[in-house]
Amino acid sequence: MATVLELGSDKASSLAGEVMARSGQNLSACYQCRRCASGCPVGEQTGYLTPDRLIRMIVLGKRDAALDNPLIWKCVSCYTCGTRCPNDIMTARVVDTLKKMAHEHRIRPSSPKVAAFHSSFIAAAKRAGRLNELSFMGRYTMKNTLGGLARLRLRGIIQDQKDQAGFGLVLLRKGRVHFLPQKIKNRRQFKRLMRKGRAWAGSVSKSPASQE
Amino acid sequence: MELAYYPGCSLKASTEIYDEQCKRVLSAVGINLHEMDNWNCCGSTSASKTDDFLAVALPARNLGIADASDYSGMVVPCSCCYNRLLSAQKVLQTDQSLLDTINEELTDKITGKTKILTVLEAIQFAAKSGDLTKNVVKKLEGLKAACYYGCMLTRFPYDMAASDDVENPQGMETILKALGASPLDWGYKTECCGASAAVNDKDTAFKLMSRIMKDAVARQANCFVTSCPMCQLNLDAFQKKIGTIYGIDRELPVYFITELLGVAFGMPAGELGLDQHFADSTTLLKELNLYE
């Protein structure tokens, strides 16, 4: 009989340990009841790779699969999995941890636009202290275009530009675009706070309040 | 009642109408909102997907400003900002070293004293004191509302108490009933609209919204009502397109709860921004004699 589940024992403990420490979630408590799966709104979009499957993957030590799969990029952070879990495992936080680990290991996201969106959002917010939709969307579109060019996906680029421009025009027509950029005062102090993360990350090897 | 107010970036950009409505409507029921000085972006869910420190530090700086002010409570209308601010407050209650690290860089220190409130909670204060119904000049009769809460109002990334039932919240229903409207029972009130996926992963977001739209239409709702700027923008701006793709032949207006309060209080449509919606938002109100 073919092996259904294969345990890479040494890999398993290191992967599960790292994900549990960083996400603050006790994955060994998962007994695969699949309440998370039945509530996951993106199950169809991930080919039914649901939170329970992702947890199993991590526990079995499948590092490559855990860091490179559709769920970590299709997850919409609705937190349904976590609020329904009888063992209080918030898989959305596991998913967020895997996104960061994939980025650190330079694994190309299966949905590059999602990754580009979030990194552009944070870059724009850190710069002005507030999010300006125009500068943020410009940054995001630029990132996508360059990414698309690198992958030689010209048709995709053109379609994306059309979609963005179309949506932009609709917003403009309804008077819902603002050209005056929002900025906070005393940005020097703000940026000092933003940089503080590096020292903090070096001093602790856990995510915020991971022990709760 | 005097309360601090954190509008967040959306309310200063694409959903400025919600900012206006919140201030006008709450002041009509005796709650004056004072916009916090020099607030910053909460980081939304993007921060938690990219940087563990920023996920707390970005919202936390605002908690410091609120804690240093004279107000005991702060109204946060955007569900996502509300979620991030409340989550940061919860994390900092238990993580002293992170609290110290952040406080070191802040002029206004975080003490944890500020009670963070949704718009619905603020309106319910007014309802309890009778300030809500005494302002009503038009009963919202005939409004069959599908109250749509989305994710962020009741579900959090940390184990914490929600201000309403997690899966079947009733805040908007309670308010709308007091105004004479008929909110419906339906199954998708806390399902996800896809949020930013509407921009970066359209197929996924459209699928999620199609389920929400289908259920509301099947139950014969004549409008959506929401308190989240992201949910409002998504359902409003993309409804027509999704309807074409998924064969849904009705388009429903997507009102903010504050907008309907404004209508019930007899505020002029222009002040409320009823003309800044994407789906037709005035025909229904005209049919129901709620708007000239």
pLDDT at B166: 97
pLDDT at A212: 38
Is residue B79 in a domain? yes
Return residue ranges of chain A for CATH 1.10.1060.10.
Answer: 9-104
pLDDT at A204: 57
Q: Are residues B34 and B169 in the same domain?
A: no
**For residue B26, how many C-alpha atoms fall within 13 Å in the half-sphere facing its CB?**
28
Average pLDDT rounded to a whole number, residues B75-97: 97
pLDDT tens-digit map of B30-43: 999 999 999 999 99
3-state secondary structure of B3: strand
Domain, as residue range, for B98: 2-119
Average pLDDT rounded to a whole number, residues A99-108: 96
CATH tag for A9-104 (out of 3.20.20.150, 3.55.40.10, 1.10.1060.10, 1.10.3720.10): 1.10.1060.10
Q: How confident is the model at residue A1 (pLDDT cuts 50, 70, 90)?
A: low
How far apart CA B40 and CA B15 sit, in angstroms, is: 17
Q: Is 90 exceeded by the pLDDT of residue A166? A: no
Residue type, B203: D
Q: What is the DSSP string of B100-149?
A: HHHHHT-SS---S-PEEE-HHHHHHHHHHTTTTGGG-SS--TT--EEEE-
Is residue B214 in a domain? yes
Nearest chain A residue to B153, by CA: A78
Nearest chain A residue to B149, by CA: A78
Residue B270 sits at the chain A interface (C-beta within 8 Å): no
Final residue belonging to a domain, choices B88, B119, B150: B119
Residue type, A162: K
Q: How confident is the model at residue A210 (pLDDT cuts 50, 70, 90)?
A: very low
3-state secondary structure of B36: coil
Nearest chain A residue to B155, by CA: A79
- CB within 8 A of B268, min separation 6: which ones? none
Is residue B131 in a domain? no
Q: Are residues B271 and B155 in the same domain?
A: yes
| A177/B201 Cβ within 8 A | no
pLDDT tens-digit map of B191-236: 999 999 999 999 999 999 999 999 999 999 999 999 999 999 999 9
Tokens, residue A94: 């596991």
Residue A169 sits at the chain B interface (C-beta within 8 Å): no
Q: Are residues B84 and B219 in the same domain?
A: no
Contact A144, A116 (CB under 8 A): yes
pLDDT at A91: 97
| A113/B45 Cβ within 8 A | no
Provide the CATH number for the domain around residue B235: 3.40.50.11810
Average pLDDT rounded to a whole number, residues B258-274: 94
Q: Are residues B231 and B97 in the same domain?
A: no
Q: Is 60 exceeded by the pLDDT of residue A205? A: no
Is residue B292 in a domain? no
Is residue B276 in a domain? yes
Tokens, residue A208: 């915020």
Q: How confident is the model at residue A211 (pLDDT cuts 50, 70, 90)?
A: very low
3-state secondary structure of B152: coil
- Residues facing residue B226 across a β-bridge: B148, B256
Q: Are residues B242 and B156 in the same domain?
A: yes
pLDDT at B155: 98
pLDDT tens-digit map of A42-95: 999 999 999 999 999 999 999 999 999 999 999 999 999 999 999 999 999 999
Give how many domains chain B has, as a whole number. Answer: 2
pLDDT tens-digit map of B116-150: 999 999 999 888 888 899 999 999 999 999 999 99
| A125/B43 Cβ within 8 A | yes
Angle at B122 between CA B118 and CA B190, to 5 degrees: 40
Q: Which residue has the higher pLDDT, B6 or A156?
A: B6
- Residues facing residue B34 across a β-bridge: B4
